[in-house]
Amino acid sequence: MDSLIAMMAASPPQMWATFAIIAATVVAFALDRYSIDLISAASLSALLVLFVLWPLQPATPDRAAFDYQELLSGFASPALFAIIGLLIIGQGLFQSGALEYPTERMLELYDKRPLVTTAIVFVFVMAISAFLNNTPVVVMFIPIIAAMASKRKTPASRLMMPLSFLSIFGGMTTVIGSSTNMLAVQSYRDTVPGGDIEFFELTPMGLALAGVGVIYMATAGRRLLPRHVDPGEARKALREGKQFVAQIEVRRGDALIGAKPVAGFFTDLPNVTVRMIQRRTQAILPPYDDVQLAAGDVLIVAATRAALTSVLKNKPELLDGAATEIPLSEEDDAPKPRAQLTLAEAIVAPGSRMIGRTIGQIGFHYQTRCVILGVERRSRMMRTQMNTLRLEAGDVLLILGDINDVRALRSERDILMLEGSIEGLPDPRNARICLAVFTAVVAAAAADIVPIAASAIIGASVIVATGCLNVRQAARAVDRRIYLLIGASLAMGAALENTGGARLIGEAVAASTDGFGPVFMMSAFFIVCAAITNVLSNNATAVLFAPIAVNAANAAGIDPHALVLTVIFGANCSFATPVAYQTNLLVLTPGQYTYRDFLVVGGPLIIVLWIAFTLMAPFYFGARGLI
């Protein structure tokens, strides 16, 4: 205890100022009165003022002073670039439709057994996270979880946080399950000659803690999860509920030739309602008894935007050749990639010259290089061919065109563009590229050929370079909250470590538990590591506390192996803040979470795991002769 008092007396004043700034930051995050990015910027500014006006002098002459440059170095952190690269890759996977097939198969099973399907997905995430870096695993499953939430009209915030937490549970069961485990093992080897941890040595206790965590998330944690509704999703749901009237022409060689209705619906046109069949001069109305489609038939259909998009993507020739009418380039021999095709919605403005004229008369395609795929009019059911449909004020037009031509429609006075409706049309070629890039990034990181930060940035660059995403789309995939949050958190961690604050906490734990027995010491190390990992970062906590644990164990007369394992399990409890682990940051935006949400759900989870570890430690470590 005397050495601890001496250490506190010798601590620099900057350490206490750093403690105050970190405490104020955590309180501000918890109160949730200001935005995450504003609090992060304020915290970083306070640290900059502190170390610019009062640089920390080095303990030895061979080391440089700790100043503002090291605080800002967090914005060049590999972890930050790994997150940015993976966010862009994830956006590429989503926008290209690369995960549509597995998502559709998953949703088919989800329709029949929603709870079983959800359990299967989460168990699979846990299992694969034990052997792969869980960051790309979460990236892969975010679109699937989002689709499942949308299917059941459940807020994504109810599922995204469990996705991140369960991947962390899986990561704590093997030595390679997370970078935290590997860094702690390496620090143990460097501190104790011959010290090592076997591959599956973490598995028994890791599975036990994971089981406790799963039970918590299925019971109390489920009740604490927030219900945040994404405004963008709400607008999208409203938009996708519109029924557009469109036209499908059955041409020679089409798969629709010979199709017969089943209970009035054509199974070859899923989620599409056929309102009328125009056969030469005859208009055929439902229920289409004994009708068999033939070449030359024109179908007047009603469908949502999603259904029409599916038809256009899978059978573009059906929508009256709309996709082939769009000029892809000024030069015929240099076509643009199909990734530039874009869907958008526009309203016929009051006083528009289009009012009272038919789609055929206005020559929309020749004036704008875009085509009108469908028209939505709430007032009545329309049964007329598209070219003869007279437009009215307030009609919503579903427009298809090249991205640049669609953007040019903003200057048209006859229509009002709905900005939130602009969306690229998925291209199977881009889907294959994105899948190949994602597989290569995961394989390179899993095999330890290339660091995850480098492989993620390279993969993101390839996706942009190949046209799967343009620069604007890639930039929108990066949330500024994440950028500022990581930078400010790494700055706090660096200040805490360089001023000696983290080491003081570790030494205080070791000194205060001396004489209370090995289980009490392990319990104290677990909860302190769990608390510090949510502020300092899990990797820094593991590297910093592993040698402290070895020294404390030697002083207490117990096997250091047990205390190092304790540090690993405690450092994996990255649940109480979004910056604690990369997967938390990845689900921050899709789940519309606040900093407080992680405290509310993850804070009690850490307490539950701490109690479970304390109760199980005597049996687990005692049976192995470590205590």
More confidently predicted of 381 and 488: 488
User: Could you give the 3-state DSSP secondary structure of residue 34?
Assistant: coil
Q: Name every residue whose Cβ is closer than 8 Å to that of residue 145 and which is 6 or more positions away in sequence.
A: 121, 156, 159, 160, 163
The predicted pLDDT at position 328 comes to 44
Among 157, 163, 142, which residue's Cα sits nearest to residue 99?
A: 142
d(CA 4, CA 509): 10
pLDDT, residue 514, reads: 72
Q: What is the DSSP string of 99-157?
A: THHHHHHHHHHHHH-HHHHHHHHHHHHHHHHTTS-HHHHHHHHHHHHHHHHHHTT--GG
Strand partners, 247: 300
CB burial class (10 A; 0-12, 13-18, 19+) of residue 32?
Answer: middle
Cα separation, 323 vs 567, in Å, equals 59
Residue 102 has pLDDT above 90, yes or no: no
Q: In what order do the strands lie in the sheet with 341-348?
A: 282-284, 272-279, 298-303, 244-249, 371-376, 396-402, 341-348, 415-424
Q: Give pLDDT, residue 316.
A: 63
End-to-end CA distance of the chain: 23
Give the integer Cα–Cα distance in Å for 206 and 221: 19
Of 52-66, 210-224, 299-313, the range with the lowest mean pLDDT is 52-66
Instruction: List, in order, residues 6 or more apart from 339 with CB less than 8 Å away.
Output: 96, 424, 427, 430, 467, 468
Half-sphere exposure for 100 (CA within 13 Å, toward CB):
17
| pLDDT for res 323 | 46
Tell whether the model's pLDDT for residue 396 goes beyond 50.
yes
Give the residue ranges of DSSP H helices in 198-340.
Answer: 203-218, 220-224, 231-240, 305-314, 322-325
Phi, psi of 572 (to 5 degrees): -85, -5
Q: Look at residue 236 and tell me whether its pLDDT is greater than 80.
A: no
Does residue 419 surpass a pLDDT of 90?
Answer: no
Three-state DSSP at 357 gives coil
Q: How far apart are CA 69 and CA 55, in angstroms?
A: 11
Reduced to 3 states (helix: H, G, I; strand: E, B; else coil), residue 373 is strand
pLDDT in tens, 261-319: 887 788 888 888 888 888 887 888 888 878 888 888 888 888 888 788 777 776 666 65
pLDDT: is 235 or 222 the higher one?
222
**pLDDT (tens digit per residue) in 148-178:** 887 777 889 999 999 999 999 998 998 878 8
Answer with the residue of higher pLDDT: 221 or 272. 221
514 vs 189, residue with greater confidence: 189
pLDDT over threshold 60, residue 29: yes
Query: 3-state class of 401 per DSSP?
Result: strand
Angstrom distance (rounded) from CA 267 to CA 284: 18
Q: Do 168 and 138 touch, CB atoms closer than 8 A? A: no
Residue 282's φ and ψ, nearest 5 degrees, are -100, 130
With pLDDT > 70 as the criterion, what percentage of the chain qualifies? 87
Region 518-527: what's the mean pLDDT? 90
CA atoms within 13 A on the CB side of 500: 18
Compute the chain's Rg from CA coordinates: 30
Averaged pLDDT score across all residues of the chain: 81
pTM: 0.66
**pLDDT for 162:** 95
Closest by CA to 571, choosing from 30, 179, 23, 197, is 179
Instruction: Say which DSSP state 381 is in.
Output: -
Q: What is the pLDDT of residue 337?
A: 43
Contact, 296 vs 256, CB < 8 A? no
Tell me the C-alpha distance between 462 and 444, whole Å.
15
More confident residue, 493 or 409: 409
Give the whole-angstrom CA distance, residue 474 versus residue 92. 8
d(CA 569, CA 565) in angstroms, rounded, equals: 6
